[in-house]
Amino acid sequence: MIEPMVNELRQEAQTTKRVLERVPSDKLSWKPHQRSMSLGQLSLHVASIPAQVTRLAHFDEFDASNANFSPPEPRNLEEILATLESSVRTAVDYLKGMDQATATGRWRLTSGGKEVFTLPRIEMLRSIMLNHWYHHRGQLSVYLRLLEIPVPVIYGRSADENPFA
Question: What domains appear along the chain, each with residue ranges and CATH number?
Answer: 2-146 (1.20.120.450)
Show the DSSP H helices in 21-161 as ranges: 39-57, 77-97, 100-104, 121-124, 132-146
β-bridge partners, 110: 63, 115
- Using DSSP, state whether 119 is helix, strand or coil: strand
Per-residue pLDDT of the chain (165 residues; tens, 9 = 90+): 899 999 999 999 999 999 999 999 999 999 999 999 999 999 999 999 999 999 999 999 999 998 877 889 999 999 999 999 999 999 999 999 999 999 999 999 999 989 999 999 999 999 999 999 999 999 999 999 999 999 999 998 999 988 888
Its pTM surpasses 0.75: yes
Query: Do the Cβ atoms of 154 and 137 come closer than 8 Å?
Result: yes
